[in-house]
Amino acid sequence: MNVFEKMFGTHSERELKRITSLVDKIEALRPDMQALSDEELQGKTREYKNRLQEGETLDDLLPEAFATVREAAKRVLGMEHYRVQLIGGIILHQGRIAEMRTGEGKTLVSTLPAYLNALEGKGVHVVTVNDYLAHRDAEWMGKVHEFLGLTVGVVLNDMKNDERRAQYACDITYVTNNELGFDYLRDNMVIYKEQLVQRELNYAIIDEVDSVLIDEARTPLIISGQSGKSTKLYEVCDILAKQLERGEASGEMTKMTAIMGEEITETGDFIVNEKDKIVNLTEQGVKKVEDFFHIENLADPENLEIQHNVILALRAHNLMFRDQDYVVKDDEVLIVDEFTGRIMPGRRYSDGLHQAIEAKEHVKVRRESKTLATITFQNFFNKYKKKSGMTGTALTEEKEFRDIYGMDVIEIPTNKPVARLDLEDAVYMTKKEKFRAVVEAVKEAHAKQQPVLVGTITIETSELLSRMLTREGIKHQVLNAKFHEKEAEIVAHAGEAGNVTIATNMAGRGTDIKLDEVSKEAGGLKIIGTERHESRRIDNQLRGRSGRQGDPGESRFYLSLEDDLMRLFGSEKLMNMFKSLGVAENEQIEHKMLTSAIEKAQRKIEGNNYGIRKNLLDYDQVNNEQREIIYKERRMVLDGMNMRDSIYKMITETVEHAVDMCLSDDVDQEEWDFNEINTVLLPTIPLKPLSLERVKGMKKNQVKQSLKEEAVKLYEEKEAEFPEAEQLRELERVILLKVIDQKWMDHIDDMDQLRQGIGLQAYGQRDPKVEYKMQAYEMFDSMIAAIQETTLRLLYHVRLEQKVEREQVAQVTGTNKDESGPKKPVHRAEQKVYPNDPCPCGSGKKYKQCCGRKPI
């Protein structure tokens, strides 16, 4: 705590002082609310809605509305909000994050701001991390809202669109973050307005906000369809990957070493950077790949696919681990969520990584997916007019919440003091010694009937400990991705006397672990962590399972110098120093340097991960601006707006651009290239060919005007072919939707390809992000031009007898949440030509001024 905080209190303490009077007002209304009959209490909802219409604000209504919910919860659930819960509710209404310890009743807190904000009738989303919690909370807390006359909905993974629409139409909807994001993307792919399921994004209360906005924000939400690519290359590359030898690099490749031309000595065929999850081929490796595929130069554009697939195969073998990152079940590779330890059915790694793992595990290799729509959680949740969150652990990420989401974190005091004892880490030289110590600690606690929750990071560790405990005759429950169906039930019993539970990365968030009397007397729930997580916050979540509502408890982490955290991020000098001390086997190492090394390693990774998320957001910001424009245009079409003016604008712009590109007043008319303008313009708009005779004596602007008038007249003739004007209007909408969707999907691929290649700009001492923005805007301009030209070409050539109906341009085959780092594009067979590149036709012009203007 710094001097300022000692004098004036922390930010949270100062903010809590400001709302004390508001909490006092709510508590003062308690007798009035208790005096009301059920009917009178229920009638308050109508009263508040009327007062809102008469000009009062939600802030004006807050004390009474909160007092109403407090009394309703007491009557319906037998639960009355504590003072600290009222404070939490105010913080949530203000659009901030309430940090409340485990067991402080966050679920009940959410009823306060949910009710108040639902009075506006614009919808409130209570966001949870899984379907189980969404369903549980909607049924449990929904009773309070329904008692007060509000409608409550829940959106679950297996629901059809009609059900989803009905649930989103409710006053308050309980839903997971993934369902929300995917429904938003799907809504922007529908072809009729009636197919939309969501309303406007108004107010979100995000439970476990750190999990949703931090942990899951490293990877975007992706909706994918199948590409037509063969799967044979994955199997071939898998054979090659097994033959290549892993090597080491002396030094680290950085931008500076590249610029300075410093050499790095490499051994083997490929180098694995475990910190950044990257695999690179060495010169020797490149040669082996070229020999294997009988190609001259792996770096040639036509060999990009081979290069990409070899790297994928090496990543599958060296960075993706069975029973940690994924499990194999029923001849299928299933992703394990690295933050919750749960299996994610239906999810596939994108960009071919899933296929590479399938080839490695010798299961059926399915076809690669193509991205149809994508968005990051950062950009999605920032679309809400107001958002708030609650969690037991957010202060460590306060800067990120403020910088990226504009939300500050307020620490809410506990209702009762925390009685849990957090012990110093127990550190051992090897993993073997560490696990022996863990088993001994479990035996000791089990002997005195103290319940134990053992937290592991991998399924492999949980199964190893399970075998060790079985050998010792200790009965226990295992909770990991393989047995997640019974999660809530297992967690609910974890606090009973003598129970031992092993949990992988999940610790059953959202389910309270309640202690019986015997457990309390034995010292409460004992938490054993078998490894430090990358993030201090996740460690704190595990600790937080114990000591709820003033219960006794203790926590301790057991570590070894062989753990990934210490191996990858700990200081090498420090590790060597401890190894040289000659510590006896099974002896615990205690040293403050070691504790600070662990803290430093975690801070380093947290900084690393924040960098990844920030980087993702910086790049997606460009995509987001473009996505907004496209989705807005699409929504106008869906809303059934008359697109005639838009079509006329397209005609004007297309004609003007073609004339500007091909004709000039600075040269004699005899030198005008009529062949070029006819080639550019006539395939799109079927005008009479332009010639010297037609335009003799006309200036460029006069030619423009003449062509525009002729083009409009042609379009009016096309309109006259249709008995009813609305027939052509609907046709315009059908064609526009089809063309926008097709071009936008191609553009997503192009942007991905640009994103992958842009990193090389750093070696040319240019800022990759600046280059990305410039090229992305040029590509977007080219896409808009292509949309205009293709739309006009189709409209001018459409015939009355043609039956043209709205249809989706690509079939959705699944959703994809790639946990494997940045997503790469589906590479095209030919090399990508960017707008400012010389045109491949050899004209000497820029591509965007030549063939890049032609309809695709």
Give per-residue pLDDT as tens, 215-226. 887 778 888 776
Spell out the residues 6+ positions from residue 702 whose beta carbon is closer than 8 angstroms to its own: 695
Q: Give the C-alpha separation, 324 to 514, whole Å.
A: 29
- The position carrying tokens 């090229």 is 775
Estimate the crossing angle of helix 725-758 against helix 768-797, to 10 degrees.
150
Is 570 annotated as a binding-site member? no
Q: Is 350 exposed, middle or buried (0-12, 13-18, 19+ CB in 10 A)?
A: buried
Spell out the residues 6+ positions from residue 520 whose beta carbon is closer than 8 angstroms to its own: 551, 552
**Tens digit of each residue's pLDDT (9 = 90 or more) over 167-188:** 999 999 999 999 999 999 999 9
Handedness of CA 286, 227, 181, 544 (dihedral sign): negative
Q: Tell me what pLDDT residue 574 has.
A: 67
**Tens digit of each residue's pLDDT (9 = 90 or more) over 691-725:** 888 888 888 899 999 999 999 999 999 888 888 88
- Does the pLDDT at position 780 exceed 80? yes
**Phi, psi dihedral angles at 385 (to 5 degrees):** -65, -35
Is 541 annotated as a binding-site member? no
**Tens digit of each residue's pLDDT (9 = 90 or more) over 195-215:** 999 999 999 999 989 888 888
DSSP H stretches of helix in 472-551? 487-492, 517-521, 536-543
Task: Report the share of the chain in percent with pLDDT over 70.
Answer: 84
Rounded to an integer, what is the distance from CA 840 to the centroid of its chain? 38
**Tens digit of each residue's pLDDT (9 = 90 or more) over 67-102:** 999 999 999 999 999 999 999 999 999 999 999 887
Q: Give the C-alpha separation, 64 to 721, whole Å.
A: 64
Estimate the crossing angle of helix 232-243 against helix 353-360, to 10 degrees.
60
Is 106 annotated as a binding-site member? yes
Rounded to an integer, what is the distance from CA 271 to the centroid of its chain? 29
Q: Tell me what pLDDT residue 628 has.
A: 93
Is 104 annotated as a binding-site member? yes
Handedness of CA 252, 253, 257, 262 (dihedral sign): positive
Q: Give the C-alpha separation, 613 to 117, whole Å.
A: 31
- Does the pLDDT at position 237 exceed 90? yes
User: Mean of the per-residue pLDDT values for the chain?
Assistant: 84
Spell out the residues 6+ positions from residue 261 whose beta carbon is closer than 8 angstroms to its own: none
Estimate the crossing angle of helix 111-118 against helix 58-76, to 10 degrees.
130
- Tokens representing 379 are 């950009």
**Phi, psi dihedral angles at 43 (to 5 degrees):** -70, -15
Other beta carbons within 10 angstroms of residue 779's beta carbon come to 20
Q: Tell me what pLDDT residue 799 has.
A: 72
Spell out the residues 6+ positions from residue 406 whose beta carbon is closer than 8 angstroms to its own: none
- Does the pLDDT at position 506 exceed 90? no
Q: Give the C-alpha separation, 244 to 310, whole Å.
A: 10
DSSP string, 121-141: SS-EEEEESSHHHHHHHHHHT
The pTM score is 0.74
Estimate the crossing angle of helix 644-662 against helix 725-758, to 10 degrees.
50
Q: Tell me what pLDDT residue 259 has.
A: 38
The beta strand positions in 423-496, using DSSP E, are 426-428, 452-456, 477-479
- Does the pLDDT at position 354 exceed 80? yes
Q: What is the mean pLDDT of residues 318-333?
A: 90
Lowest model confidence (mean pLDDT) among 72-76, 341-345, 378-382: 341-345
Task: Report the share of the chain in percent with pLDDT over 90.
Answer: 42
- Does the pLDDT at position 54 exceed 70? yes
**Tens digit of each residue's pLDDT (9 = 90 or more) over 143-155:** 999 999 999 999 9
- The position carrying tokens 């753990």 is 563
Residues 813-839: b if buried by 16+ CB within 10 A, e if exposed: bebbbbbbbbbbbbbeeeebebbeeeb
Q: What is the mean pLDDT of residues 216-243?
A: 82
**Phi, psi dihedral angles at 789 (to 5 degrees):** -65, -45
Nearest to 490 by CA among 467, 473, 508, 471: 508
Q: Tell me what pLDDT residue 545 has.
A: 84
**β-pairing verdict for 97-99 and 409-411:** parallel
- Tokens representing 414 are 């506990």
**Phi, psi dihedral angles at 465 (to 5 degrees):** -65, -35
Q: Are 855 and 682 in contact (CB under 8 A)?
A: no
DSSP 8-state secondary structure symbol assigned to residue 298: T
Q: Which residues lie across from 419 on neighbouring strands?
A: 552
Q: Give the C-alpha separation, 556 to 415, whole Å.
A: 24
Q: Give the C-alpha separation, 495 to 508, whole Å.
A: 12
Is 607 annotated as a binding-site member? no
How many helical (H) and strand (E) elements, i.e. helices and strands, does the chain have? 35, 24
**Tens digit of each residue's pLDDT (9 = 90 or more) over 644-684:** 888 999 999 999 989 988 888 788 888 888 888 888 888 88
- Per the document, the length of the chain is 856
Predicted confidence band at 625 (pLDDT cuts at 50, 70, 90)? very high
Q: Tell me what pLDDT residue 830 has.
A: 39
Q: Which residues lie across from 270 on neighbouring strands?
A: 246, 281
**Tens digit of each residue's pLDDT (9 = 90 or more) over 803-833:** 556 666 666 666 655 333 333 333 333 344 5
Q: Is 157 exposed, middle or buried (0-12, 13-18, 19+ CB in 10 A)?
A: middle
Give the count of alpha carbons within 13 A of 308, CB side only: 21
Q: Tell me what pLDDT residue 255 has.
A: 39
DSSP 8-state secondary structure symbol assigned to residue 98: E
Q: Give the C-alpha separation, 67 to 74, whole Å.
A: 11
Other beta carbons within 10 angstroms of residue 517's beta carbon come to 8
Q: Give the C-alpha separation, 302 to 827, whole Å.
A: 10
Q: Tell me what pLDDT residue 803 has.
A: 57
Q: What is the mean pLDDT of residues 595-619?
A: 81
Is 444 annotated as a binding-site member? no
Q: Give the C-alpha separation, 380 to 220, whole Å.
A: 10
- Does the pLDDT at position 781 exceed 50? yes
Spell out the residues 6+ positions from residue 824 whose beta carbon is closer than 8 angstroms to its own: 308, 351, 352, 752, 756
DSSP H stretches of helix in 448-515? 459-471, 487-492
Q: Give the C-alpha separation, 602 to 521, whole Å.
A: 35
Q: Tell me what pLDDT residue 102 has.
A: 72
Give the count of alpha carbons within 13 A of 577, CB side only: 10
Estimate the crossing angle of helix 725-758 against helix 592-638, to 10 degrees.
160
Nearest to 456 by CA among 415, 506, 509, 510: 506
Other beta carbons within 10 angstroms of residue 243's beta carbon come to 9
- Does the pLDDT at position 492 exceed 90? no
Q: Are 226 and 811 in contact (CB under 8 A)?
A: yes
Q: Are 526 and 546 in contact (CB under 8 A)?
A: yes
**CA dist list (Å): 382 to 95, 401, 610, 651:** 12, 11, 18, 36
Give the count of alpha carbons within 13 A of 166, CB side only: 6
- Tokens representing 181 are 């994001």
Spell out the residues 6+ positions from residue 618 whose beta carbon is closer than 8 angstroms to its own: 769
Domains and CATH numbers, the chain: 3-220+378-411 (3.40.50.300), 229-367 (3.90.1440.10), 429-610 (3.40.50.300), 640-853 (1.10.3060.10)
Is 523 annotated as a binding-site member? no
Spell out the residues 6+ positions from residue 685 whose beta carbon is closer than 8 angstroms to its own: 651, 654, 655, 711, 714, 792, 793, 796
H helix or E strand, kind and range, residue 84: helix 83-93
Spell out the residues 6+ positions from residue 585 whose beta carbon is closer than 8 angstroms to its own: 429, 433
